[in-house]
Chains A and B, each alone.
Chain A
Amino acid sequence: MLTLKCPYCGVQAEETELHAGGEAHLTRFGPDSSDDDFETYLFTRENPKGVHFERWRHSHGCGKWFHAARCTMTLEVFGTYPAQTTEPPQDIRDAITAKRPGWTWREFS
């Protein structure tokens, strides 16, 4: 069972306190979007063996959504950060680079 630090309340939360929300940093496509864009937004997801960005909610805690950068293979957690951003913050990227040089994930690296 994972533990993740909630970036809002600072609690080192156990998985039973958290709700997993799938891939992070999705861009919403609305009514005027193409079928391809909309399909990608709804259904196409990364399935990496390694660095991944996910959405989590501290559902049995402060109720806030946050993002976690972690390794799907070793479960190493590189960092967590508030969900109010469209891309991983630089300090998180640096933390990943320190552990996994040359990492890439979608358009980020």
Chain B
Amino acid sequence: MSMRLPTGGRLTDRSYRMEFTFNGKRMTGYAGDTLASALLANDQLLMGRSFKYHRPRGPVASGAEEPNALVNLGKGDRFEPNQRATTTELFNGLTATSQNHWPSLEADIGALNTHLSRVLPAGFYYKMFMYPRAFWKHVYEPFIRQSAGLGKAPDAESRDADSYEHFYHFTDVLVVGGGVAGLMAAKTAAQSGAKVLLLEQSAHWGGRAPVDGGTIGGQSPEDWTDATLAELQAMPNVTLRSRTMGAGVYDHGYALGYERLTDHAPEAPGPRHRLWRIRAKQIVTATGAIERPLSFAGNDIPGVMLASAMRDYLVNWGVSIGDRTVVVTNNDDAYRTAIALKKAGLDVPAIIDARSYGGGALMAEARAMGIRVEQGRGVAKVLGGKRVTGVAVCNQLGEGAVLDEIACDAVAMSGGWSPVVHLWSHCGGKLDWDEAGAFFRPRAGAAPTDADGKPFVSVAGAADGHMTLAGLLQDAAETGAAAATAAGFDAAQTVAPEAEEVAEKPLEPVWLMPQGARYDLRMKAWLDYQNDVKVSDVQLAAREGYESVEHTKRYTTLGMATDQGKLSNINGLATLSNALGESIPQVGTTTFRPPYTPISMGAIAGEAHGALFQPVRQTPIHAWHEENGAHWEPVGQWRRPYCYPKGEEDHAQAVIREVKAVRQSLGLLDASTLGKIIVKGPDAGRFLDMLYTNMMSTLKPGKCRYGLMCSENGFLIDDGVVARIDEDTFLCHTTTGGAESIHAHMEEWLQTEWWDWQVYTANVTEQFAQIAVVGPKARMLLEKLGGMNVSKEALPFMAWKDGTLGGFPVRVYRISFSGELSYEIATPAGHGRALWDLLCARGAEWNITPYGTEALHVLRAEKGFIMIGDETDGTVIPQDLGLNWAISKKKVDYLGKRAQAWPHMTDPARWKLVGLLTEDSSVLPEGAYAVADGTNANGQRNTQGRVTSTYFSPTLGRGIAMGLVLNGPDRMGEVIEFTHIEGFTVPARIVDPVFYDPEGEKQNV
């Protein structure tokens, strides 16, 4: 059984007990435990089930590379699936549950899959779910949905209870990794005076050197770490952050750090995670190395673990995985585990070394301690089900004939070490295959380059392939100094402290154990634990023609699990290269993509959620709308009142009341959101002639003109009323959503095409409140306010005038988007609310009625006025909308003119705007298509038009619509059929789009 030993555990504090639960069972651990070490201390070796075969699994690693020990963590709003037990720090009250099983972790029905594994090989999904076609919807899809996902998705109604933040940081040198190499590199860089940021993903400094032993400058690695850390902390130019992972390296020295502030202390105040957005002149990655598993049958049975991880659990947390541990290795390092176990009083029945030549001094030490060492041997298979019971030993060079069986309850394996090259590779750093070490290491001179074309990433220590303590410290010292020099500092030549450790014999690459393993053994030899990819699957993919490592990855799902192949990558591609008969560097690696390990969505979002997701723009009259029960409609970032329901009214009833009030008496609209752009200068008229389809330069000061704006592609992008203020000055109204984009459009042309024209523009949208006073009584109200002459003669239709109304400074435009007598009154934003209040008070005698955007839409549709975004969708030109009257024939050029001459733009078969009246007065469905005879090449019904706007018209007491119809204007009176979502069609008659007051008499009084 796995258990806590009476002594030991350099990271745990046995004076502080912590309580937690796993699958509802109460357990205890110590401060400093990870969830994994605490579970192991409670003999909970079984922590989860694998994805495909539901194999029982325990932890195989002790850190970020762990593929098996994934749990659901927390409850309610703090529930999170797929959390690695090995990197989860224990806290009092932690609740965890295991994943991917039913009904329980111990007895899982899905484990039947493991007996079906012969018929569930690589590519099973692609082969199985193709036929028969009808099975997809009713059999395959429900099955796949049922089995998809490892952890449980959080409840859809829950909301993240924590806060997150982004943090911007600029530094000369960023060092990622707080092991001895990272500390050494940070120190030599900082001694030059450079600003240094050092990140460590775990809560502890020193990496694995304190576990592995040796001496640095005569001190133990632990003491050296403490001393160096103290030195760094005393330097004002150094920032240190533990629990902060270097997540990714990006262009031009950009890097992301992922700081976990309160995961280990959920009750602590402040944000839970912090995303560091770092710009560094130089980045040093000192990310260490990860041990590789060996591929032998049963290497996934709980109790089989990386030799280094078993050493970590023993030394760091005082936890033993078993009483009798067999060590399997192809290198000397695993002997350290055997020796440590033996020293802790545990039994090591045998070390099985695949190398016929055996190991060096460490082997001699192990033998001297009485440990049996078998050279040139391998594990044929591991015995046991939910827990190791023994190993069958064979010749490494054979096919798996069993020589001996050794009873044990744990297996420590080591296939050698792979440098963590992820961060080096994120931004394009190249790799070389190191034959001696059997790993990929960063290629010298092939670093990612910055804006100046100079390398900005370097690698220090084991991540650079330096696997001895002395070698990695010297490399780190030099790399840190070089980074500071590259960042513009004068780093002194630094010599690393003397380091000593036991010399090792070289490893022998072992990609399969035994090297000629039979099929029944190969199909139990796991490469990717989480996604259940075995040696036999990769070999099958190679036989089926998958030669590229990227294709094989996707076909077999090797390395596609949440651990992203940290353990399986090298073993998998070595297996592939053997199957293809190519060398490993020829096959190459898959692409390393950030983040290094998964980071929370909350950290990515930072503060941008809820009310802070995006700014809400409010007009000066916003508060009045809110006080008076407005139902809001988001329009871009603005909130506009959709309608103002009164009493028991629903929205439809409110809209009807508002429309009728405008038509019969007096309405009031907050039009402040309309874009207002001042265009000024001697060439302003010439410029607007290019921007609008109609002639603006001939507009007289004091007058207004409706204009259309097209893109260079010819399509209608915006419309609005232009007022000429004086000879040099125009005020262009844009749509609410278009103010910023049209202003940018103007600036783009002015700056990049007509930069010699004397024009400047200013977006003054928010400087003015604008209120539309609309309806037959509009003039009477303004006259009652007094201050300026608003008579027909003094202020005719399509004119504007400055003056005062009720004491407010105003600019009054006689323009109408409703077809009624209408004044749009602009006043400096600060006066907006007071003017609105005055209009409401003085207009009471005419039952003045504020109306919202829906009434505005109905009013304009009754008049056949188009709306950008309804009648247009980026493929509509003004000519489609019957707006030829607003397109100048005289102008030589305007944006869109050339494109509108394309043959397909002048094609008479383009759908054109008409009005539509249903035969039964009903409202046509939005976006409905008009059907035509026959079907197209795909067997779909042919179409001949579509609805662009459709409303109930209170004025006409029936449904009205506009739409684009083939040859529409020539088919007045014809009845065509429109689709309805219920499956039938609705007949509608083609009519003129102006439903109300076609002569325009009402607006021109």
Contact = CB atoms under 8 A, between A and B. Distances in A.
Contacts of A38: 898-899
Contact of A2 (B252, B892, B902): B252
A75 B251 contact: yes
Interface stretch (B447-455, B527-535, B606-614): B447-455
11 contacts: A2-B451, A21-B748, A42-B712, A57-B744, A65-B748, A65-B751, A65-B752, A74-B449, A74-B453, A83-B752, A84-B755
A84 to B, nearest CB: 4
Given A38-B898, A83-B755, A75 B892 contact: no
A57 B744 CA distance: 10
B713 A42 contact: yes
Interface of B: 250-254, 279, 449-453, 712-713, 744, 747-748, 751-753, 755, 892-893, 897-899, 901-902
B748 A57 contact: yes
Given A33-B898, A38-B898, A84-B755, A76 B893 contact: no
B752 A76 contact: no
A7 B747 CA distance: 17
Given A1-B252, A59-B744, A75-B252, A31 B901 contact: yes
Contacts of A33: 898
A31 B893 contact: yes
Contacts of B453: 71, 74, 76, 99
A63 interface: yes
- The 8 A-B pairs with the shortest beta carbon distances in the complex, nearest first, are A76-B453, A84-B755, A65-B751, A77-B451, A1-B254, A83-B752, A3-B252, A30-B893
A76 B453 CA distance: 5
Contacts of A99: 453
A52 B101 CA distance: 54
Interface in A50-80: 55, 57, 59, 63-65, 71, 74-77
Identify whether the interface residues of A are mostly helix, strand, loop, or mixed.
loop
Contacts of B252: 1-3, 75
Interface string A88-100: 0000000000010
A75 B744 contact: no
A28 interface: yes
Contacts of B899: 38, 42
A3 B170 CA distance: 13
Given A1-B254, A21-B748, A28-B753, A76 B452 contact: yes
A103 interface: no
Contacts of A2: 251-252, 451
Contacts of A35: 902
Interface residues of A, number: 27
Contacts of B450: 76
Contacts of A55: 752
Contact of A75 (B451, B901, B902): B451
B755 A30 contact: no
A80 to B, nearest CB: 11
Contacts of A21: 748, 752
B453 to A, nearest CB: 4
Nearest to B897: A31
A63 B761 CA distance: 12
Contact of A31 (B251, B451, B713, B892): B892
Contacts of B892: 30-31
A79 to B, nearest CB: 10
Given A42-B899, A83-B751, A1 B251 contact: yes
A74 B899 CA distance: 37
Contacts of A83: 751-752, 755
A38 B902 CA distance: 10
B70 to A, nearest CB: 31
A63 B893 contact: no
B149 to A, nearest CB: 31
A59 B763 CA distance: 14
Nearest to B748: A65
Contacts of B253: 3
Interface in A1-54: 1-3, 14, 21, 28-31, 33, 35, 38, 42
Contact of A76 (B451, B748, B755): B451
Contacts of B254: 1, 14
B127 to A, nearest CB: 38
A76 B452 CA distance: 6
Contacts of B893: 30-31
A3 B451 CA distance: 7
Contacts of B712: 42
Contacts of B279: 3, 14
B898 A31 contact: yes
A23 to B, nearest CB: 12
A74 B893 CA distance: 41
Nearest to B894: A31
Contacts of B250: 1
A63 B762 CA distance: 12
A92 to B, nearest CB: 15
A31 B690 CA distance: 12
A9 to B, nearest CB: 14
A22 to B, nearest CB: 11
A42 B251 CA distance: 30
Contacts of A77: 451-452
A42 B713 CA distance: 8
Contacts of A76: 449-453
A82 B900 CA distance: 32
A32 to B, nearest CB: 8
Given A77-B452, A84-B752, 17 more contacts: A1-B250, A1-B252, A2-B251, A2-B252, A3-B252, A21-B748, A33-B898, A42-B899, A55-B752, A57-B744, A65-B748, A71-B453, A74-B449, A75-B451, A76-B451, A83-B751, A84-B751
Contacts of A64: 751
Contacts of B897: 30-31
A83 to B, nearest CB: 5
